[in-house]
Homo-oligomer: A and B are copies of this chain.
Amino acid sequence: MNLRSVKPPHETRTRILDAAEELFMQHGFEATSMRLLTAKAEANLAAVNYHFGSKDALIEAVFRRRLDPMNTGRIAELDRLEKEAGGRALSPEEIIRAFVGASLRMIEDAKSGGRNFIRLLGRTYTDPQKHIRSLIGQLYAPAMSRFKAAFERALPQMPGDELVWRMHFMFGTLAYTLAATDTVQLIAGCKPEDRYDARLLEARLTAFLAAGLLAPLHNAADVKKAA
């Protein structure tokens, strides 16, 4: 029995995923070389191609590992809330919290690299590569349609296109807030340790998003008339 045999099966795979998550976040996909990545994972250069097939397949695996459970959890949480509410309609705040909470709980989970992943994810929503965006879209699609239906029930009076846009705005606020923490420092000095008091952030985000979602409806006719 040599030293290497103490590793559980597939540990190399996991070490590669962890290293990839962190390095992709720090440097981006293209700027992270397989040599740097495998060195950090304490694996051989060929290990990525052996275990995943290619660099692109590794990227996909990084997202699937975290995103599938996260969105499954979001849907389950929504199911739970609706069952708990019986026939009563959920409030917009409850629905927002079910969505936002999943991200923040992963950020709070400091032991696993969840925070790395959330920041990576925020950056990837706007990645220029089409196959990456379509992967993200594909992984989000079930949760998206589920939450859209929930919002429609909670806000039956809101026009469909308006709801789509406001969901887009909410989604963007969440993605950007968790990815671009530097901007807060840009706006004003802000102690780093305050940045991720997840519970306080959740309250701030939810209040902001709920208010935006429930903003008074503009009058499209007025907008066009003013033009």
Chain A residues proximal to chain B, CB less than 8 Å? 25-28, 30-31, 122-123, 125-129, 133, 137, 140-141, 144, 148, 160-162, 164-169, 171-173, 175-177, 179-180, 182-184, 186-188, 190, 194, 199-200, 203-205, 207-218, 220, 223-224, 226-227
Contacts and interface: CB of A to CB of B under 8 A. Distances in A.
Given A28-B129, A166-B204, A204-B218, 14 more contacts: A27-B128, A28-B30, A30-B31, A123-B126, A126-B126, A126-B176, A133-B182, A137-B182, A144-B186, A164-B187, A165-B204, A166-B208, A168-B177, A208-B213
| Copies per assembly | 2
B177 A172 contact: yes
A183 B25 contact: no
B173 A200 contact: no
A190 B203 contact: no
Nearest to A210: B215
3 A-B pairs with least C-beta separation: A172-B176, A211-B215, A30-B30
B216 A207 contact: yes
Contacts of A184: 164-165, 168
Nearest to A162: B204
Contacts of A187: 144, 148, 164, 167-168, 171
Contacts of A125: 176, 180, 183
Contacts of A204: 162, 165-166, 169, 218
